[in-house]
Homo-oligomer: A and B are copies of this chain.
């Protein structure tokens, strides 16, 4: 099913990977029933007419092979004889009128009790296709790629930047001093660590004001306005107050830890927000790491895009975490893939590459993505550069120039000293 609209109106489509010892058709029917009109037993009032109008439907069922051990405990297995655990991809659809265009209530249907069903020894939500009716309620990203470029003044190349480290322990003044060094070095983008929000040793207001003094002076001196994603994560009233402060002091970006705040809090922030929202996905590993259980990045990021983020983290090539390069690239592409067909808005956002990034990963990133519409956060590649942070920033710009021009990094390095030093340092 390639469209989210049937003759009877809009439908929500969700694709899952499942593992079960039950016949596949029966297992898929259990999912559809439990998450719409059915319950464990047929109850009075569950008429054929009601089911016709409200039941979730199996749109596709593709067997993916068998295995001899269940991935998760607690699943049904035949008594006696050996169980065969079948895997499959199953696509279900729900009439939108079951819950209306409400993200929290969508979740109860597509990501609610499913993972507790006894029929299943494995389940992942792989993808979601939503009808454009959601755009009548949710605004999507306010800035996206074009808006972020307009705010930052960076065009034709990635925004190059870094996270403030150490993550925890710097005072507001020490943080501002670190920011001054980075701004002088020429970064386009600076963000707080997700561990740094409003702790008593480095409270939000003092830190933000100290940093903005530095960045305003820098802009007056150089004309270059660094994008600063200040971490405003907190309770809803706190986030709204902090956003007011950001606007009143000419701040230009806010960061929130998405999994910590939840979709309704992001929706509330987005309704008031006047700057790009930098979405941090910490905690993502809980949903993304296991092949046996969880929610895939393509499904997860759509929810947050609709609710209004402008940027989201996707790790980076050869990162220091456990995510593969294939997964990183697929995630980044997903951020730039329209969620709805034209003329509806596509809600594309800017992927943020980070974790162990230096000039060395630039050619591979460019070759895999074919775009410079990304934020490249390269702490090590900037502050770890032997020529200092300014040389680190230059090495990254040079690497992107080379990649886009189709020139091998080593060749371009012959006439670009900082790139040559980066290769010598990080290529070992």
Chain B CB within 8 A of A54 CB: yes
Q: In the docked arrangement, what's the CA distance between A237 and B269, Å?
A: 12
Given contacts A262-B265, A286-B293, contact A169 B200 (CB under 8 A): no
Q: Is the Cβ of B112 less than 8 Å from the Cβ of A39?
A: no
B residues less than 8 Å from A265 (CB atoms): 236, 262, 264-265
Q: In the docked arrangement, what's the CA distance between A46 and B193, Å?
A: 14
Q: In the docked arrangement, what's the CA distance between A103 and B379, Å?
A: 28
A101, closest chain B residue (CB)? B200
Chain B CB within 8 A of A287 CB: yes
Map CB proximity to B onto A30-68 as digits: 1 under 8 Å, 0 otherwise: 000001111111011110001101100000000000000
In the complex, what's the smallest C-beta–C-beta distance from A102 to chain B, in angstroms?
A: 6
Chain B CB within 8 A of A111 CB: yes
B residues less than 8 Å from A216 (CB atoms): none
Copy number in the complex reads 2
Which parts of A71-112 form the interface with B (CB within 8 Å)?
72-76, 97-100, 102-105, 107-109, 111-112
Given contacts A104-B234, A261-B262, contact A118 B321 (CB under 8 A): yes
B residues less than 8 Å from A46 (CB atoms): 165-166, 169
Interface residues on A, range: 35 or more
Q: Is the Cβ of B116 less than 8 Å from the Cβ of A285?
A: yes
B residues less than 8 Å from A178 (CB atoms): 45
Chain B CB within 8 A of A337 CB: no
Q: Is the Cβ of B384 less than 8 Å from the Cβ of A99?
A: no
In the complex, what's the smallest C-beta–C-beta distance from A336 to chain B, in angstroms?
A: 22
Q: Is the Cβ of A289 less than 8 Å from the Cβ of B72?
A: yes
Q: Is the Cβ of B112 less than 8 Å from the Cβ of A257?
A: yes
In the complex, what's the smallest C-beta–C-beta distance from A179 to chain B, in angstroms?
A: 12
In the complex, what's the smallest C-beta–C-beta distance from A146 to chain B, in angstroms?
A: 27
Partner pick for A200 among B37, B76, B100, CB 8 A cutoff = B100
6 extra A-B contacts, CB within 8 A, seeds A72-B289, A116-B285: A39-B379, A105-B198, A108-B260, A108-B283, A262-B264, A264-B265
